[in-house]
Amino acid sequence: MAKPNYKMIVGLWVAAFILAFVSPITAGIFGKPEIAISTLILGVFLALIMILDLKQDRVIKGLFIIMFGVLFQTLYLKIIYIFVPSNTIPQHYKDYLDIYSQVLLFACSGAGGSIIAAHADKSSLDNDSAASSEKHTCHDVEIKKLTTTIEKLHKKLNSIITAIASLGMIIIILAVAIFIR
């Protein structure tokens, strides 16, 4: 198993924290509710991706995802409305945020529930172990090396896609911020 890239993990968590907490609070204090709501949505989405990628037991990960959605719906928005007064936010942004929070709650509940269900199915008595746990039993060294190389390339490709998507989101935020002025 490959060693995790801790620098990238810490960097993504810092970016999620900045986008989800620091930017909305700062933009709210300086009277830019549109930027606050946009960065809030991006930060929470990035945090959800990071939670989904946690290396954790299935039940704990499932419960954590469900809890993330519920806490966003119940507490996070109330905390943000302290720094971004509700009367300064345009109505269409309030509607977007309301829809986003409901979709996030349903997505987290569905994802967390399915992860827990996969664990329950795997540990049930009538589980067909031969069908569910097929393992790579090839003894050819060259095929194993090729498989390892493909897995490494897959991880690098995922990192590149994440970096490009993050850069695209930042460019979109900057473009919206420039056009809002």
Say which residues have a Cβ less than 8 Å from residue 174's Cβ, sequence separation at least 6. none
Q: Which helix (H) or strand (E) holds 132?
A: helix 129-132
pLDDT at 132: 46
Is 2's pLDDT higher than 50?
yes
pLDDT in tens, 20-47: 778 777 777 777 877 877 788 888 888 8
Query: What is the C-alpha end-to-end distance of the chain, expressed in Å?
Result: 49
31: left (phi over 0), alpha (psi -120 to 50) or beta: left
* CA 165/CA 52 separation, integer angstroms: 17
- Look at the block and give the residue holding tokens 């090396």: 145
The distance from CA 137 to its chain's CA centroid, rounded to whole angstroms, is 34
- CB contact at 8 A, 65 and 51: yes
pLDDT in tens, 116-142: 888 888 877 776 655 444 555 556 778
Question: Looking at 20-157, which runs of residues are DSSP E strands?
Answer: none
pLDDT at 19: 77
pTM comes to 0.61
What is the residue extent of each domain of the chain? 6-121
Is 180's pLDDT higher than 50?
yes
CA distances from 111 to 65, 69, 71, 90, 108 (A): 7, 10, 15, 31, 5
Of 53, 48, 44, 51, the C-alpha closest to 18 is 44
Q: What's the residue count for the chain?
A: 181
